């Protein structure tokens, strides 16, 4: 018989049976680390870790101390500054706010308090250092940074004064412990005149890595405070993870801790300065004390606060929207001579996400989406309900591209381009059936402009970390080819290429930064990538048993790849698998013998330097019998 051409439609289909995917396509049914280009599957690019550094306390020109970000990175914003034409990256983690410039990490987390101490350190010959500070006000897990301390107990001054500071272990209201990276050599007390700089922490909305359900009687660490007295944590139990809104005001940063305060970082003050409360700035008026999330409207330049304290109020209304005066992010008091104002939304229980688009601010509550449009005086903004039962699943799951908004809902994916509709997603049930919905808040969207891809990273039920699971899987939509793919990868936030950065970059759970679409490997290790087809009828009708005795591969290949073939007599058969057969750039054919009515195959690579792009395979078949 003549050679049979095998052609599959682009995209992964998992929400119907494998046999149906073969009859209706045929389609691809599974993959990992594969994308579609021009209708054909291709292994994605690799990634390499970028080394980050911090300065040495005693030498501000020494950048040789390797650094990782503390806390789980949740939000990243990139920009090129006007004054020095340098590229900057702002990263908000579960515990810190950072700025990265030229691979150097600067901690700009706001301070809660400072204290001037005398000989506060006590060592005992181990790595544990006890710090005495009367009424320090710190919670277990908060952070402190020391400066001007002198060596004590064999621990060098540079170690005590390190830029990354220390995480606090609460002892009592007047003492806490920290862990030195090097052990003390003796029992001693000292440190001289030391400044303790306490970063904002639990009381300011930071420090919650994983949201926990209400815990009934009391909260917090066992034994951390006095029995039968009120807890010091204000505002009730925390039910959401710590998140940042990071907005750019020109080349400066406006940052908001979810359900808490709003901060400002002025680039002109230098990279060694910290963000400060907006309410502390000169001329600040009626700045909201607590806000769920913020965004800058375009092109009118108002700072939008959603889920905030109403003007003149004291408690958060999770459906309240307020905005500052135009071109003045610190003036929030509505007057006859400015454009500050407010509006309460009605459909939903809380605002979940904000996204600026070309024409309006896109607002999602947990139940609906709104359009917020600048109309000028006297109302400043108009609000229109765009749709219901379509709320975003989390804070960071919406993306705007080419005047289209895409987002992950609680049960499906949505798109708005003037009309709102559910996206036709052939992997919808696969994703949502394995998505850990209690961790929706950790899901985030990632754009890869080079390949026209929008990906959503999420925590799957396959994650083995039962305490603090982080995103381990992704689903990708190629909006140019209208094709979906799936895969596994542990990342917590992502930025597309910008400025001098020609490739996307992302952070993992360990605070490491990776440049993507770089090479073909997993940071120097082999990357496993595969794609599997649906079973397709060998003789078109599906009635005749056929013998397959030759496969002619068609791949653009570097390195090698393995091809596995499975044939079936009936759709519910487990099938007979032949292979894997290793192919290289010089492989012209694969000789084999396999009998069945349907055939599927899988292409996989797992060696260093492997990369491949699929073409059209052909197989040689002939009619065969049962024996």
Q: Provide the mean pLDDT of the chain.
A: 93
Instruction: Please say if the pLDDT value at position 215 is more than 70.
Output: no
pTM for the model stands at 0.94
Query: What's the rounded mean pLDDT across residues 259-278?
Result: 97
How much is the pLDDT for 264?
Answer: 98
| Confidence category of residue 539, pLDDT binned at 50, 70, 90 | confident
Residue 423 to residue 407: CA distance in whole angstroms: 10
Q: What is the pLDDT of residue 228?
A: 54
Cα–Cα distance for residue pair 320/308, rounded to 1 Å? 6
Answer whether residue 386 shows pLDDT above 70.
yes
Among the ranges given (375-379, 383-387, 425-429, 476-480), the one the predictor scored with the smallest mean pLDDT: 375-379
Residue 534 corresponds to which tokens in the numbers above? Answer: 């649906």
Question: pLDDT band at 213, cuts 50/70/90?
Answer: low
Going by DSSP bridges, is the β-strand pair 9-12/27-32 parallel, antiparallel, or unpaired?
Answer: parallel
Quote the percentage of the chain above a pLDDT of 70: 95
Is residue 1 scored above 90 in pLDDT? Answer: no
The per-residue pLDDT for 237 is: 46
The pLDDT tens digits of the residues spanning 232-255 come to 444 444 479 999 999 999 999 999
Task: Give burial (CB, 10 Å; 0-12/13-18/19+) of 82.
Answer: exposed
3-state helix, strand, coil in the chain (%, to 5): 5, 45, 45
Strands (E) across 200-327 are located at 244-249, 252-257, 262-265, 276-277, 291-296, 303-308, 317-323
Q: Do you find a cis peptide bond into 299, omega within 30 degrees of 0?
A: yes
pLDDT exceeds cutoff 90 at 3:
no
* Beta-ladder partners of 453: 448, 478
143 or 403, higher pLDDT: 143
Choose the most confident range, by mean pLDDT, from 2-6, 120-124, 225-229, 583-587.
120-124
What pLDDT is attached to residue 229?
54
The 10s digit of each residue's pLDDT in 137-182 is: 999 999 999 999 999 999 999 999 999 999 999 999 999 999 999 9
């Amino acid at each position: 018989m003549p050679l049979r051409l095998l052609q599959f439609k682009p995209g992964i289909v998992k929400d119907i049976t494998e046999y149906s995917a073969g009859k209706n396509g045929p389609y691809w049914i599974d993959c990992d680390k594969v994308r579609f280009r021009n209708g054909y599957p291709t292994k994605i690019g690799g990634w390499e870790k970028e080394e980050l550094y911090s300065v040495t306390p005693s030498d501000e020109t020494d950048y040789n101390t390797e650094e990782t970000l503390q806390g789980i990175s949740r939000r990243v914003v990139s920009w090129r500054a006007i004054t020095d034409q340098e590229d900057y990256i702002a990263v908000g983690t579960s515990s810190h706010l950072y700025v990265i410039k030229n691979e150097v990490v600067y901690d700009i987390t706001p301070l809660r308090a400072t204290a001037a101490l005398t000989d506060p350190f006590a060592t005992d010959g181990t790595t544990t250092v006890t710090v005495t500070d009367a009424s320090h006000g710190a919670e277990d897990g908060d952070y402190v940074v020391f400066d001007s301390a002198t060596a004590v107990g064999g621990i060098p001054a540079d170690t005590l004064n390190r830029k990354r500071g220390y995480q606090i272990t609460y002892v009592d209201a007047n003492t806490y412990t920290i862990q030195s990276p090097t052990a003390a050599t003796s029992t001693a007390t000292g440190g001289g005149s030391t400044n303790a700089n306490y970063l904002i922490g639990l009381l300011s909305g930071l420090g919650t890595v994983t949201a926990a359900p209400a815990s009934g009687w009391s909260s917090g660490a066992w034994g951390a405070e006095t029995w039968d007295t009120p807890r010091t944590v204000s505002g009730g139990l925390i039910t959401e993870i710590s998140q940042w809104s990071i907005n750019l005001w020109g080349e400066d940063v406006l940052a908001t801790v979810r359900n808490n305060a709003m901060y400002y970082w002025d680039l002109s003050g230098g990279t060694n300065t910290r963000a400060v409360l907006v309410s502390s700035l000169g001329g600040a008026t009626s700045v909201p004390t607590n806000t769920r999330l913020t965004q800058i409207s375009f092109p009118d330049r108002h700072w939008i606060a959603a889920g905030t304290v109403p003007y003149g109020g004291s408690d958060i209304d999770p459906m309240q929207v307020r905005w500052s005066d135009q071109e003045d992010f610190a003036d929030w008091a509505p007057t006859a001579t400015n454009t500050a104002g407010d509006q309460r939304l009605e459909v939903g229980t809380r605002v979940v996400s904000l996204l600026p688009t070309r024409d309006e601010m896109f607002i999602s509550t947990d139940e609906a989406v709104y359009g917020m449009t600048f109309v000028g005086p006297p109302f400043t903004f108009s609000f229109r309900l765009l749709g219901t039962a379509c709320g975003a699943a989390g804070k960071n799951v919406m993306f705007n591209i080419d005047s289209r908004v895409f987002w992950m809902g609680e049960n499906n994916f949505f798109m708005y381009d003037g009309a709102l509709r559910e996206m036709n997603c052939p992997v919808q049930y696969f994703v949502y059936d394995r998505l850990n919905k209690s961790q929706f808040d950790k899901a985030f969207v990632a754009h890869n402009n080079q390949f026209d891809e929008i990906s959503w990273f999420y925590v799957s039920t396959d994650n083995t970390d039962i305490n603090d699971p982080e995103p381990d899987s992704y689903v990708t939509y190629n909006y140019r080819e209208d094709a979906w793919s799936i895969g596994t990868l542990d990342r917590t936030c992502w930025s597309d290429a910008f400025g001098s950065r020609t490739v996307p970059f992302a952070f993992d759970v360990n605070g490491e930064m990776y440049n993507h679409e770089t090479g073909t490997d997993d940071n120097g290790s082999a990357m496993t990538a595969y794609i599997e087809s649906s079973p397709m009828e060998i003789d078109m009708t599906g009635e005749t048993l056929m013998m397959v005795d030759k496969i002619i591969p068609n791949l653009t290949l570097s390195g090698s790849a393995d091809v596995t073939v499975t044939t079936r007599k009936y759709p519910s058969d487990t099938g007979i698998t032949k292979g894997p057969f290793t192919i290289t750039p010089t492989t012209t054919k694969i000789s084999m013998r396999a009998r069945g009515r349907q055939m599927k195959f899988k292409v996989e690579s797992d060696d260093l330097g492997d990369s491949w792009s699929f073409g059209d395979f052909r197989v040689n078949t002939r009619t065969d019998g049962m024996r």
